[in-house]
Chains A and B, each alone.
Chain A
């Protein structure tokens, strides 16, 4: 029995290697494709297509661990604002269910018909603020259920803070939360000069003209606008 088994095994090996030699592709020659159009990153999808490897199936990626979900918010009745560029800001807020309920109970039906706003106070150069003396303020209508918004406030190099609030139908304003102070960045040359640190004006003009000629990745367009 053992001999028969061995003979069978041997013939299988011979048959198998014969088939392999017949079917296997020649290797080592002409292996560099010359007509690849896509960059590798974008080609990844196409590589699995029949064109390249008709016989190969990709095993799945290793099983990924579960990606934890983060809480929607932290129920702390706050609004935080950051300047994104000289004109735009990003605000996010987090109002607890409890606070919402309280406000609803206090104002009743009037609350339901009120308009949610982001009230942005301009407090540039102010030494004292008592809610009545901002340089300016603007109300931006928002959807306060979304939890965040990108809005345009418009003026570079100003100091602001913002309230999340509601305007009732009779015009009464109700503050829900108050933000941190934030400043929009400058986007032009300062008018202020330090008398101890000045080039003679002809030379300053030459320097600025020289710099405005240089087109960099990000600063140049900004400089260009300013220096001509």
Chain B
């Protein structure tokens, strides 16, 4: 009998990047690389566990932009070419490295890896990997949850409450359409919570969300179990708090597992290392060098003289680290179980792309960890939040504090000198969308198309990724351009709709280009009740 639970939560998100107007688009590769290195290897891990009859439960968010990209035909077509080209490159590499045994066997390893990914993508799931995730959910091993429609950062969108409501509503609609059932849980983008947002989640039938540690610890009433049990917000939606210790072991640059010297080095890619003419067909058509995914070295040490990667040694390390991670969770649960009058739950959320893309051995680590938990011990058991709530339906009621999992724990990452200029446009557009929805609550024909496209442009502008990229300083031009373009499109549509001069050809062009949420309900932006603040009665006079 287990003494406590571990909830592994994989948050899976990429911004909506799809550029039909360009044959090759650098930022689309974020998606292709994540597919090859993270999503497909994780599907393989979960399937192997199912095939071996291992008992496990994992929570995974798939954000609406990612779900949309997974089921988009153009991106499927492009990924098909991408993976085929990678196989071609790895075959050339097998030939090139035939006198260098260390690299030669790695080239083989990559070829096998790519061929397997291609088979899974083409033959088994007919290019739509969303059906792989859906199948795993239907098999009862994954609990897939949704997130903000375009991963908008709620605490800063919330000045216009309708904007948050639409982010939740559009996400729940899309999930229900694609997954064949409504979602149970919600990943608040960046764990960004603002008191009262839970009411909107409740309105759309969501049962739980995740908060950062201090969001729960600094709740209005002191949480009895710390972050090791959920609390109910006043709306009745449960909030689960992140456990710091597990984050540190996996995330931390210095102390985390992924920095081990035996693991594969991310920063040594043949796209940068090899002869230009040889690499030319596999890098940017304009000659810009880029990562290919073929990397032959291990982290070694802080040195330029990197040693060749040894997959067997790395695999052993992943098994060791999985054992260590499990041992620490057992100790943690034993400690907590002694002082609690219920079984504790340890919630460990991670970005999915960490596993495989950054930490090449991450999927193996999960594979070892899940098997060890199933067979090597009795203290902990894997669980999803909804299962925990079934076992413990009675929980403390309190309101978490506004918080996020970003640097310093509040909103600064998305609201500072470099990116604060975006909000006046974002808020104004949301206000205008509400105005349009109120003006035309029963639109049809071209007016309906224009209203739906305006809603899409607004949602795309709200993505938290733009503010984040602008702050971090890499690919800034792209983020600025995307933000301005969507707001500009929105403003144009607003004027056209309001002054009855809709140009169906232009709407059509935008529909083809920014095609997320084909069935968007623009009425989600209709005015909604303000948050239940204690608002001074004569305020505003």
Interface set of A (CB-CB < 8 Å, partner B):
25, 27-29, 31-37, 39-41, 43-44, 47, 52-53, 56, 58-62, 64, 67-71, 73-74, 76, 80, 82-86, 88, 90, 92, 94, 123, 125-131, 147-148, 150, 157, 159, 161, 178, 180-181, 183, 185-194, 196-199, 203, 206-208, 210-211, 214-220, 222-223, 226
The reply to whether B214 and A128 contact each other, CB–CB distance below 8 Å, is: no
A residues less than 8 Å from B213 (CB atoms): 211, 216, 219-220, 223
The reply to whether B273 and A208 contact each other, CB–CB distance below 8 Å, is: no
CA distance A67 to B487 in the complex (A): 11
A-facing residues in B169-197 (Cβ within 8 Å): 195
The reply to whether B402 and A159 contact each other, CB–CB distance below 8 Å, is: no
- A183-B195, A193-B221 known; A84-B415 Cβ under 8 A: yes
**Of B375-383, B441-449, B477-485, which binds chain A?**
B477-485
| Chain B window 396-427, contacts with chain A (Cβ cutoff 8 Å), 1 for yes, 0 for no | 11100111011111111001110011011101
The reply to whether A215 and B244 contact each other, CB–CB distance below 8 Å, is: yes
A residues less than 8 Å from B156 (CB atoms): 82
CA distance A44 to B475 in the complex (A): 13
Nearest CB of A to B26, in Å: 10
B159 close to chain A: CB less than 8 A: yes
A-facing residues in B197-230 (Cβ within 8 Å): 212-214, 217-227
B499 close to chain A: CB less than 8 A: no
The reply to whether A67 and B484 contact each other, CB–CB distance below 8 Å, is: yes
B486 nearest in chain A by CB position: A68
CA distance A5 to B531 in the complex (A): 86
- A36-B304, A185-B402, A216-B213 known; A159-B533 Cβ under 8 A: yes
Nearest CB of B to A153, in Å: 14
CA distance A85 to B398 in the complex (A): 21
The reply to whether A40 and B291 contact each other, CB–CB distance below 8 Å, is: yes
CA distance A47 to B222 in the complex (A): 56
B122 close to chain A: CB less than 8 A: no
The reply to whether B396 and A68 contact each other, CB–CB distance below 8 Å, is: no
Secondary structure call for the A interface: loop
- A129-B537, A218-B408 known; A74-B286 Cβ under 8 A: no
B residues less than 8 Å from A214 (CB atoms): 243-245, 248
The reply to whether A58 and B288 contact each other, CB–CB distance below 8 Å, is: yes
A residues less than 8 Å from B275 (CB atoms): 25, 27, 31
A-facing residues in B490-536 (Cβ within 8 Å): 491, 533-536
The reply to whether B224 and A197 contact each other, CB–CB distance below 8 Å, is: yes
B251 close to chain A: CB less than 8 A: yes
B88 close to chain A: CB less than 8 A: no
Within the complex, which residue of A32, A76, A180, A216 is in contact with B270, where a contact is CB–CB below 8 Å? A32
B residues less than 8 Å from A43 (CB atoms): 272
CA distance A70 to B488 in the complex (A): 7
B30 close to chain A: CB less than 8 A: no
The reply to whether A85 and B408 contact each other, CB–CB distance below 8 Å, is: yes
The reply to whether A47 and B289 contact each other, CB–CB distance below 8 Å, is: yes
- A40-B291, A217-B248 known; A189-B222 Cβ under 8 A: yes
Nearest CB of B to A34, in Å: 7
B residues less than 8 Å from A34 (CB atoms): 304-305
B392 close to chain A: CB less than 8 A: no
Nearest CB of A to B288, in Å: 7
A residues less than 8 Å from B296 (CB atoms): 32
The reply to whether B536 and A126 contact each other, CB–CB distance below 8 Å, is: yes
Show 25 A/B contacts (Cβ-Cβ < 8 Å), sorted by A. A28-B278, A29-B99, A31-B275, A61-B286, A67-B481, A67-B484, A70-B425, A74-B424, A82-B156, A82-B411, A92-B424, A123-B536, A150-B416, A150-B420, A161-B539, A181-B533, A186-B219, A191-B222, A193-B222, A194-B224, A196-B396, A197-B224, A207-B339, A214-B248, A219-B244
The reply to whether B273 and A33 contact each other, CB–CB distance below 8 Å, is: yes
B125 close to chain A: CB less than 8 A: no
A-facing residues in B70-120 (Cβ within 8 Å): 96, 99, 103
Within the complex, which residue of A126, A150, A190, A218 is in contact with B218, where a contact is CB–CB below 8 Å? A190
- A33-B273, A161-B539, A217-B251 known; A80-B427 Cβ under 8 A: yes
The reply to whether A185 and B267 contact each other, CB–CB distance below 8 Å, is: no
Closest 10 A-B residue pairs measured CB to CB? Answer: A216-B244, A129-B536, A219-B213, A68-B488, A85-B410, A185-B402, A203-B339, A214-B244, A197-B224, A186-B401
A residues less than 8 Å from B340 (CB atoms): 199, 203
Nearest CB of A to B243, in Å: 8
B474 close to chain A: CB less than 8 A: yes
Q: A67-B480, A181-B535, A218-B409 are in contact. List 12 more A-B contacts (CB 8 A).
A: A58-B287, A67-B481, A90-B415, A186-B219, A190-B220, A190-B221, A193-B221, A207-B226, A216-B244, A220-B213, A223-B214, A223-B217
